[in-house]
Amino acid sequence: MNIGVSTSCLYPLETEKSLLSVARAGINTTEIFFNANCELEKSFVNGLKEIKDEYGINIVSIHPTMSLAESFMLFSNYERRYVEAIGQYKRYAEIAGELGAKYIVMHGGKPNRVLDNEGYFERFARIAQTVRENGAVLLQENVVKFRAGNLQVLKSMKQYLGEDAAFCLDVKQSIRGGYSPFEAVRELGGSIKHIHISDSLPDNDCMLPLSGSFDFPAFFELCKERGIKGDAIIEVYRDAYKNADELYASYKKLKEVLNF
């Protein structure tokens, strides 16, 4: 398991500038969060790959820009729109391959009257199959207010899909959803392939690692015990720090504390 920093931490800095900043800070693991459809163009992706190759940074995952539209695009009952959205996910899978990333992180759909939970799981499996055919693995993230923001739904998804269930566990989203990240690790185990980490206090659920009270050593020890082997990416919002040096110092200090 490696510790990394997501380009999303630097938003609204442009994606390529964010990747360059992370790379120049000497960070060797990252997730790229795409922020506009123009960033799916071949020339743009080639620019990202040049940064990756120059600095030797490992891009382990990518996050589509269509996250907020996935309910409408992928989990509605309008087939033509679904087909269009699948085309975008095929492109993201191709980009993942070009950048050497294994995972695509999905927010998914919000609860609606179109799909019950099993219908949602089936739809996710269809999308995951398309992604897999194009060289990547689709992960369901536990984003609050979305269907998968509920731990019981995640447990049901794991039971229903079996080995095809794959998750990105976001620590702050777990806290916002009212359940412990430790409980999520115990329940989902090795189905968690990727982790978004941050720190917290009772009045603040999104802080730089080691600036709050979250027990990172105990958390990662539990991850190891439960067979989780994926990487852990720092993902905080821009208001969690004053300048990028604080973000990168937090990363370095966390690696030292965990001896990673």
Residue 67, pLDDT > 90, answer: no
List pLDDT tens digits, range 143-174.
Answer: 999 999 999 999 999 999 999 999 999 999 99
| Cα dihedral sign, 69-75-81-83 | positive
CA–CA dist 127, 250 (Å, integer): 36
Residue 254's pLDDT band (cuts 50, 70, 90): very high
The architecture CATH gives domain 3-258 = Alpha-Beta Barrel (3.20)
Looking at residue 83, its pLDDT comes to 92
pLDDT in tens, 114-148: 999 999 999 999 999 999 999 999 999 999 999 99
Q: Work out the pLDDT band at 228, boundaries 50, 70, 90.
A: very high
Of 193, 37, 46, residue with least CA distance to 128: 193
Residues 6+ apart with CB under 8 A from 116: none
Q: What is the pLDDT of residue 260?
A: 87
Query: Considering the entire predicted model, what is its pTM?
Result: 0.97
Q: What is the pLDDT of residue 110?
A: 94
Distance CA(40)–CA(148), nearest Å, equals 26
Percent of the chain with pLDDT over 90: 97
The residue extents of the domains of the chain are 3-258
What does the pLDDT average to over 236-242? 97
The span from the CA of 193 to the CA of 142, in Å, is 13
Nearest to 176 by CA among 146, 155, 153: 146
The per-residue pLDDT for 213 is 97
